[in-house]
């Protein structure tokens, strides 16, 4: 029974981790950029949801109506205003610029929101459903549903819409896509916009499930990166499986050792099979 309980807890966490990884994998696979500021984007999303929910006195999940478009536009602006320009100089300057962005954002949040722990509370936060000897938090089920739904919508968007197809085309062959009339820069801007939008949703999940700080971005970045590397860059199913692996590692190892297990897993994976389990 305890194994099933672990498995369920792992799956619940895995959904959030997969969502963390999806934003990273989009940028990795499409823009070919390692976005070291993704963790900070997620924390911005967490603050946005928490603050809007507090200000309006609504359920934190409803704040997505505001935070998702806000983060999407922020991402588009960032890509077209800054990152597109640096990317012309090569991949290492671009990597270092996202690194610079991450420290700027982290300290800006520290200034704006202080170093206090934050948490987005909801009415159903402490409800627990019991099935036999297995207990599941209602919150976990809701967060898993939100994560999976977001990933599903994204998959549908990438596969079925014109914009999604042009994004995938750019990812496969930038030159061919631009010859077919796809504006590469615009596609990149939309890709970062979408990545930021997923970060907004992931941020909400993190804010609901755990307490977070202005400085929490780094550890979520490493989880996101781990999910991407283990799943294979640009692969959404791979991201789901890798999210589950990380979730299980966390549940089995507890907070500190779980993190260590994830790191070691990630390093082994990087050394042995850097293209990931599910690469194209």
Beta-strand relationship, 128-131 and 134-137: antiparallel
Euclidean distance between CA atoms 196 and 72, whole angstroms: 6
The distance of closest approach from Cβ of residue 168 to other proteins in the complex, given in angstroms and rounded to an integer, is: 22
- The site for other proteins, by CB under 8 A, has a size of 38
Q: How many whole angstroms separate alpha carbon 143 and alpha carbon 252?
A: 20
Measured between alpha carbons, how far apart are the two ends of the chain, in Å? 37
Q: Specify whether the CB–CB gap between 144 and 15 falls below 8 A.
A: yes
Nearer to other proteins, 97 or 192 (CB): 97
- Window of 91-99, 172-180, 183-191, 198-206 that interacts with other proteins by CB under 8 A: 91-99
Instruction: Based on the shown chain and the rule CB under 8 A, indicate whether residue 93 belongs to the binding site for other proteins.
Output: yes
The minimum distance between CB 256 and other proteins, in angstroms, equals 5
Q: Is 92 in the site for other proteins (CB under 8 A)?
A: yes
Nearer to other proteins by Cβ, of 164 and 218: the residue is: 218
State yes or no: residue 185 binds other proteins (CB under 8 A).
no
| C-alpha distances in Å from residue 200, one per residue of 47, 58, 125, 236 | 9, 17, 19, 18
Interface positions, 242-271, toward other proteins (CB under 8 A): 256-257, 259-260, 263-264, 266-267, 270-271
Beta bridge partners of 130: 135
85 is an interface residue for other proteins by CB under 8 A: yes
Q: Are 259 and 219 in contact (CB under 8 A)?
A: yes
Interface with other proteins, residue 142, by CB under 8 A = no
- Contact (CB, 8 A) for 221 and 195: no
Q: Which parts of this chain interact with other proteins (CB under 8 A)?
A: 34, 82, 85-86, 89, 91-93, 95-97, 99-101, 103-104, 106-108, 110-111, 218-219, 222, 225-226, 229, 256-257, 259-260, 263-264, 266-267, 270-271, 274
């Amino acid at each position: 029974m305890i194994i099933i309980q672990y498995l369920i807890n792992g799956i619940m966490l895995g959904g959030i981790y997969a969502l963390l990884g999806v934003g990273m994998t989009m940028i990795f696979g499409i823009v070919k950029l390692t976005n070291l500021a993704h963790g900070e984007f997620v924390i911005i999303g967490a603050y946005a949801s928490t603050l809007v929910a507090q200000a309006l006195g609504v359920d934190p999940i409803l704040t997505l109506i505001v935070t998702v478009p806000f983060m999407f536009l922020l991402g588009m602006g960032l890509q077209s205003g800054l990152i597109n320009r640096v990317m012309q100089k090569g991949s290492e300057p671009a990597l270092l610029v996202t690194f610079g962005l991450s420290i700027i954002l982290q300290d800006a949040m520290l200034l704006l929101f202080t170093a206090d722990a934050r948490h987005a509370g909801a009415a159903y936060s402490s409800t627990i459903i019991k099935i036999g000897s297995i207990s599941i938090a209602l919150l976990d089920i809701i967060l898993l549903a939100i994560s999976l739904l977001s990933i599903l919508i994204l998959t549908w968007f990438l596969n079925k819409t014109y914009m999604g197809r042009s994004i995938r085309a750019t990812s496969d062959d930038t030159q061919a896509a631009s010859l077919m009339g796809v504006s590469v820069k615009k596609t990149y801007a939309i890709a970062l916009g979408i990545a930021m939008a997923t970060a907004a949703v992931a941020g909400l999940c993190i804010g609901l499930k755990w307490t977070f700080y202005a400085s929490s971005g780094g550890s979520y970045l490493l989880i996101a990166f781990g999910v991407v590397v283990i799943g294979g860059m640009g692969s959404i199913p791979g991201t789901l499986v890798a999210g589950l692996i990380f979730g299980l590692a966390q549940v089995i190892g507890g907070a500190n050792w779980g993190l260590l297990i994830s790191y070691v897993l990630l390093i082994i994976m990087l050394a042995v099979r850097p293209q990931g389990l599910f690469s194209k």
